[in-house]
Structure 1
Amino acid sequence: MLLRILTPIALALSLSAQAQPRGDDQVVEMGAQAQPRGDDLVVESWQAWRQGNRVRLAQLVPQVRGHVLEPWVAYWDLRLRLDTASPAEVQEFFTRYAGTYQEDRLRNDWLLLLGQRRDWAAFAADHPSYRMNDDREVRCYAALVTHLREGSAAPASLADEVRRNWFAQREADDGCALAASRLIGDTAGPRRLTVNDAWRRARIALEAGRPRAAAQAVEIAAPEATRQFAELSNSPAKFLTSRVTVISKTRKELVALALIKLATSDADNAARLLESKWGPQLSPEERNWVWGVLGKQAAQKLSPDALLHFSKVSRDGDLSDDMLAWKARAALRSLRGPQWPVVQQAIQAMSEEARGESTWVYWRARALLAKGGDDNRAQARELLQSIASVRGFYEQLALEELGQPIAVPARPAPLTEEEKEAARQNPGLDRALQAIALGIRAEGVREWNYSTNLHRPGGLGERELLAAAQLACDRQVWDRCINTSERVRSEFDADQRYPMPFRESVSRRSREIGLDPAYVYGLIRQESRFVTDARSGVGASGLMQVMPATARWTARKIGMNGFTTDQLNDRDVNISIGTGYLKLVLDDFGGSMPLAAAAYNAGPSRPRNWRNGPILDAAIWAENVPFSETRDYVKKVLANTTMYAAILTGEPQSLKARLGMIGPRDARLPEPNDELP
């Protein structure tokens, strides 16, 4: 008994000695050996950070010295006052926390601030130490610094780098807009951007509903046109019905922007004005772009007009990859059956990057198979073989096209104790897991992802990723377990990628109400990655991400008396409510797993409308789901379900059999349940 009393006391004294504050001129050793203390102070620091409470954070920093999450508290403190911090203080942070995610995170923030200050010398000095390199604005600043330093001797890829990052930015920014304006203004050499790039940026932004980004691009392309752009943004129809005829390049581009803006609210009117008045006055490239926007708008509404609009495009190369994707989808969904030549034409016009996506590799192969002939079949087979695996929706479909079943791959060689220990001793993984355990999930997830990133110096190799995934599994941090294991390309550990926590509860509940447990697991894996306290931005909760109103309705339907929404945090209640709703939706859609998955994600009324039209192969139907989130969701849930079925049964499975065909509801069947929320 005395030993049991003294041991904790001795341990506490040991921890206290280890956790004494170190001198500021010393580098803190961050590792798995660092002893955690003051968890409550770390959580209080996190709360102060979220509240923007600089005073309280400054008080807490010295109190958490020695805690494994000290780098996070120090980061929060300095980040809140970075705009007033001295360069020496920033460099001291970089030294003290060298090699950590927090060092690189603050360097990202610091480089952005240096760019905004136009302190190019300091930016050039610090940028080579930036490891993450995933911030587009920082990349644009870096390209601009290279341009300013090297001029015409800069790499030929400089303009492409700026263009790619600028077009990909969702909102107006300083870095990419500044770099683009400087390169457009520099008329020397073939590496510069052009005014046409600025107009293209404006079109992309306006179509995406980003008027500030579009206005910024217009100001770069034609500063004198900013007032006219504001007018067309406020009332595109009024702008387009004015009596002024197109004369200048600027006026033509403004007309194209007005047509794009009008297309988002009144596509029929935009098409009429393009055809009757403005089309002949625009350049072929401008005209093609607007028809591409109209085609995309119609395709997203599942309108047969989509192919009509796309047919008026004289050169597919003028369209964006997104427009070409919707052209291919519309051709697949055609009332006359898939228009395979159009599918192939659209995919062929995509960028090399887009053509390489498994979606378009698969449909290009299907188009070649439909075309017939030995050469086309051989080429299709080669394409299918390039993606065929159990790793995803189109990968599984490619396997089946090749006549191969979907089965669980052989397990990788067991991890050695040395490999497991290396993962346990990784300081970044340790900090991430401790942050997640304290409820500081977003920060923990970011640090975990950084620590496992294969594409940065010091990132983990494939066996190390397997060991990291296993560490997360062992700690029941299922989302990091799954996501980390999925990044391993050379081996496939089904236990890591498709875990089955709470198996007894899920299986028992599924059997009771007549659901396939593989389907339930496939949906949970996509909904929450088995994070029991997951909560979405719109208020969905728990394993099965159930909305409060849906939960109350379902509880009444399944006879769960006395239910209150705070019970959704209870794992078994969440499973009961979620599976109960899934069963009701599945029955309402006649047992169609794709339709029920779409209804679970987007509500039942939308897939009821999406199923109207021709009878389709469900893979074509899923690819045409208008919402990108729901489209991705349906495909992933069905691919997950197929793999879980292979694991649970030990037998090869068919994704195609689960997909089936989808078309309008049979009038002989009962009316849909309009009460379904």
Structure 2
Amino acid sequence: MKFSAALFGLLMAGTALAQEGSDAAFLIARDAFRAGDINKLERAAAQLGRHELTPYVDNYRLRMWMEQGDPGAIRAFLERQDGSYVAEKLRADWIRWLGKRFAWNEIDAQYPKLLAPEADVTCYAQQARLARDDRRALDEAARLWLTQLEPPEACVPVNEALLFSGRVGVDDLWQRARRQIEANKTGAAKTTLGYLADSQAPDSRSLDAALGNGMGYLFRQSADWYATRAGRELAAIAVQRIATSDPRAAAEQLEKLQPRLQDGESRWAWSQIALQAARKHLPEAVDWYARAGDAPLSEEGHQWKVRAALRAQEWGIVHRAIDAMPPELAGRPEWIYWLGRAHKAGGRTSQADALFAKIAGQPNFYGNLADEELGRAVLPPPKAEAPTYEEQRAARETPGLKRALAFFRLDMRTEAVREWNWALRDMDDRQLLAAAQLAKGNQIWDRAINTADRTKKEHDYSLRFLAPYGDTVRPAAQNQALDDAWVYGLMRQESRFISSAKSNVGASGLMQLMPATAKWVARKIGLRDYHHGRVNDTQTNVLLGTSYMRLVMENLDNHPVLASAAYNAGPNRARKWRAERPLEGAIYAETIPFSETRDYVKKVMSNAVYYSALFNGRPDSLKARLGVVGARVADAPKDADLP
């Protein structure tokens, strides 16, 4: 027995060393590919052995040899790796390469085999179809005219073909340019207007002036500015630019200009003033939207029209504004819920309940609220049976998951997540639960959560709402007199429990602390010898994060909705977003101006309901947690320097 144990230990050590060597060879191959060193890549490939990531090295080699024009080798690889993420990416890269060389026949053969084509690759396929005079490609391009506002370079020939076909006229060009300007894509708007005939196009210097300094442009415009469409459109654009910073000043200017504008131009300008006013929570937004009349609205414009009416408690306008949305937009859970609330406010309870029933049971903010409107408790569904041994073995042997785990082992998280998510395509609930369990077993908490989130009928909410680091988090929450369900709900949204997580703005750790915030809290609580190198230490991060949560709560009426908004966007903004009168918590959340923070607060609050139910074994109420957000006050906060 002793000999067998020793032999087993030696075998394991040998396996680990072999894996280390293969991992090193893969990293050398990857670096060689990035450096364009084909000889080094070939040497590393020869040392790779039977590594999980061998297909990636084969992909690197094929991409480097693509210029040699060996389509047979590429086709053979794509056939061998059919359906895999690495094949999908190689096929897409090959189509890009082929498109730049006008190899339309090969693109026609390869494009239908893509499972999730990206926009530029789709445009190369459309170019190929146009080359054989398939005009249906123009129908597809026309449907994207007002939504694909900053098209990839590959889409330019398709859009130009659309223009030259006569399907896009002067009105369409101006409408697209308006949408691009609303989205602050001014360079794309200039490109769009460049397609106008010289006699109809605005002068480039005047366009730059209107986009760059709207007020200055209006003061300096010529006396006969209204004589041409271009002159009137530029005046409306200048008003839009003023509105981004000062909607009231923009409204004052538009009142002066309106007699000289045509209806479509003035209504668009009013819609832009209304949109910016709604985002700034100005009470005039509802009236300005009314002055916009039937001006075509972007998705943002439609949604902020409803939000402005919600803040004003104008339920009739809420109803009409949602009815006016495009069907796909109106079918989102938030607008189904608020339309139900509008019906309920008007005494139409049966219509309201029918709408609530459409989204009730969905494990999200508005599904929770709809459940409560129907008198149903929000509870996790019955727990699915644990994955069997065979199901777990199948998960371990799934090639895509094996490649993802290898990437995680190499600390290549971006590649790992892409490979993992691709492997989940077409999995049924049992396979998803087994994959989630595999992730949990490897302490890859974010993939466990996201994978369990995908199940349709069989669920395991202990995986969807994992609660790792319990020995650290729950005592810290208790020490700060915080609801541990809320703390976990926030952490789940902040980092998905990735202790090394770092955001693109520099926030770190489980609770995603900004350097200045962490330093301020450490000083506030008297944490000695703190330096930023400690921020990813689990205990330090949780101590600082929960301490900050308590301080934010104390400074914001002890209201978790305000505190959640403050944790993401800062306490000053959370205060500023309150209304002049008390506001239902759900309306406060829906009308947060920052889309990231709006989504964040909803998810944190819904997460907390499920964590509470799992921790305590009884239903919780989202409506009770949301409560009422108090009116805006002028009193100075307790900690004026709270970051």
TM-score with structure 2 length normalisation?
0.91
Establish whether residue 204 from structure 1 lines up as the match of residue 179 from structure 2.
yes
Aligned residue identity for 1:371: G
Give, in whole Å, the separation in 1 of the partners of 2:372 and 2:253: 47
Aligned counterpart, 1:25: none
| Counterpart-to-counterpart distance in 1, 2:276 and 2:68 | 47
Aligned to 1:140, which of 109, 123, 130? 123
Instruction: Measure how far apart 1:103 and its partner are.
Output: 1.2
Q: Deviations over 1:32-67 (max 9, x none)?
A: xxx785223334445566777777555533333521
| CA distance in structure 2 between the aligned counterparts of 1:242 and 1:51, rounded to whole angstroms | 56
Pick from 321, 346, 350: which aligns with 2:299? Answer: 321
Alpha-carbon distance change, 142 to 409 in structure 1, aligned in 2, over 3 angstroms: same
Matched residue SS, 2:195: helix
2:89 is matched with 105
Contact 1:136 1:169 in 2 (8 A): no
CA distance in 2, matches of 1:509, 1:315: 54
Structure 2 partner of 1:29: none
Report deviation, 1:644.
0.4
Shift of the alpha carbon at 1:208? 1.6
Shift of 1:266: 4.6
Q: Which residue among 291, 294, 300 is the counterpart of 2:270?
A: 291
Residue type of the alignment partner of 1:461? D
SS class of match (1:312): helix
Deviation at residue 489 of structure 1 after TM alignment = 2.1
Q: What is the deviation of 1:251?
A: 4.9
Q: How does 1:428-447 map to 2 (within 5 A)?
A: 428-447=400-419
Q: CA deviation at 1:313?
A: 1.6
Cα distance in 2 for partners of 1:265, 1:222 equals 32
Distance (whole Å) between structure 2 residues aligned to residue 57 and residue 202 of structure 1 = 47
Q: Is the 8 A contact 1:412 1:491 kept in 2?
A: yes
Distance 1:536 1:51, change over 3 A: farther
Report the equivalent of 1:309.
Answer: 288
Question: Do the aligned partners of 1:207 and 1:264 also contact (CA within 8 Å) in 2?
Answer: no
- Identify the range of structure 1 (349-358 vs 104-113) with the bigger mean alpha-carbon deviation: 104-113
* Paired position in structure 1 for 2:359: 387
Which amino acid is the alignment partner of residue 329 of structure 1? R
Paired residue type of 2:323: Q
Shift in Å, 1:261 = 3.4
Distance 1:595 1:563, change over 3 A: same
Report whether the alignment pairs 1:640 with 2:623: no
2:250 to 270, 293, 299: 270
Measure how far apart 1:255 and its partner are: 4.4
Cα distance in 1, alignment partners of residues 311 and 237 from structure 2: 29
**Within-5 A mapping of 1:201-280:** 201-222=176-197, 225=201, 227-228=203-204, 229-240=207-218, 241-278=221-258, 280=260
1:178 to 157, 171, 188: 157
| Contact in 2 for aligned 1:471/1:481 (Cα 8 Å) | yes
Distance 1:226 1:81 in 2: 48
- The corresponding residue for 1:579 is 546
Q: 1:424 aligns with which of 393, 396, 403?
A: 396
Q: Within the alignment, does 1:449 sit opposite 2:425 as a pair? A: no
Q: After the TM superposition, which residues 441-590 of structure 1 pair with which residues of structure 2 at under 5 Å, given as runs? A: 441-453=413-425, 459-590=426-557
**Cα distance in 2, alignment partners of residues 87 and 270 from structure 1:** 59
- Displacement, 1:89? 5.5
> What's the offset of the Cα at 1:607?
0.8
- Alpha-carbon shift at residue 197 of structure 1 (Å): 3.5
Secondary structure of residue in 2 paired with 1:304: coil
Q: CA deviation at 1:235?
A: 4.2
The two structures have a TM-score, normalised by structure 1, of: 0.87
Segment of structure 1 superposing worse, 348-357 or 261-270: 261-270
Residues 1-400 of structure 1 aligned to structure 2 (within 5 Å): 2-4=3-5, 6-7=7-8, 38-46=22-30, 57=41, 59-76=43-60, 87=71, 90-91=74-75, 93-95=77-79, 97-133=81-117, 135-151=118-134, 154=136, 158-159=137-138, 161-165=140-144, 167-169=146-148, 171-187=150-166, 192-222=167-197, 225=201, 227-228=203-204, 229-240=207-218, 241-278=221-258, 280-284=260-264, 286-315=265-294, 318-334=296-312, 338-372=313-347, 376-389=348-361, 391-400=363-372
Structure 2, unpaired ranges of 5+: none
Find the residue that maps to 1:626 and give its secondary structure.
Answer: coil
1:220 partner SS: coil
Distance 1:151 1:255 in 2: 40
For residues 610-651 of structure 1, give each alpha carbon's deviation from its aligned partner in whole angstroms, at most 9, with x where no partner exists.
124221001101111111111111111000011100111111
Code of the aligned partner of 2:88: D
What is the letter of the counterpart of residue 477 of structure 1? Answer: I
Gaps of 5+ in 1: 20-34, 454-458
Q: Quick one: distance in 2 between partners of 1:415 and 1:49?
A: 40
8 Å CA contact 1:429, 1:448 repeated in 2:
yes
Deviations 1:396-415 (A, max 9, x none): 01111111121221112332
Deviation per CA, 1:436-465: give whole Å up to 9, x if none: 222100011011111112xxxxx2223222
Contact map agreement 1:520 1:579 (CA 8 A) in 2: yes
Deviations 1:322-353 (A, max 9, x none): 1010011011111xxx1011111111111111
SS of 2:222 mapped into structure 1 = coil
- Contact 1:166/1:176 (CA < 8 Å) preserved in 2? no
1:675 aligned onto 2:638: no
CA change 1:666–1:404 in 2 (3 A) is same
The residue type equivalent to 1:302 in the other structure is H
Letter matched to residue 428 of structure 1: G
Write out per-residue CA displacement over residues 379-408 of structure 1, whole angstroms, 9 at most, x where no aligned residue: 110110110125111110111111112122
Deviations 1:486-517 (A, max 9, x none): 12222331111101111121111111121111
Calculate the aligned-residue CA RMSD, in Å: 2.9
Shift of 1:206: 1.7
The structure-2 alpha-carbon separation of the partners of 1:641 and 1:279, relative to structure 1 and needing over 3 Å to count, comes to farther
- Conserved? CA contact 2:270–2:291, under 8 Å: yes
Trace 1:592-611 onto structure 2 (pairs within 5 A): 592-611=559-578
Cα distance in structure 2, aligned partners of 1:84 and 1:218: 41
Question: Alpha-carbon deviation of 1:287?
Answer: 3.1
Determine helix, strand or coil for the equivalent of 1:561.
coil
Query: Per-residue deviation at 1:76?
Result: 4.7
Which amino acid letter does the alignment assign opposite residue 25 of structure 2? L
Contact 2:149 2:179 in 1 (8 A): no
Which deviates more from structure 2 when the two are superposed, residues 624-633 or residues 270-279? 270-279
